[in-house]
Amino acid sequence: MLIPFHVWFLESVSLETFICYADGASHSTQNPYFATWAIFSLNEELVCMQGICIGCSTNNIDEYIVVVKLLYDAIAHGIRRLIVRL
């Protein structure tokens, strides 16, 4: 008997919701931008916390990059439901 892939996939993935806080920071446009994020479970346990230096950038690009990076990190941890707070 064959089990369709999507049914097996849904059973193997946790649908627990996680909360992520993310932000970027720089003193001015001539200084390097930094982006950080932290992912927590709903019972406030820290799952992961990361940060990167983006280099000279703008605030909009910084915010976009931090969301992309945290989504990669969430997928790497097997997280499929995420509330992002910037």
In order, the DSSP letters of 60-71 are HHHHHHHHHHHH
Domains contained in the chain, CATH given: 15-85 (3.30.420.10)
The pLDDT score that the predictor gives to residue 18 is: 93
pLDDT surpassing 60 at residue 7: no
Length of the chain: 86
- The dihedral through the CA atoms of 82, 4, 11, 50 has a sign that is negative
pLDDT surpassing 60 at residue 38: yes
pLDDT surpassing 60 at residue 25: yes
Which residues is 84 bridged to in the sheet? 20
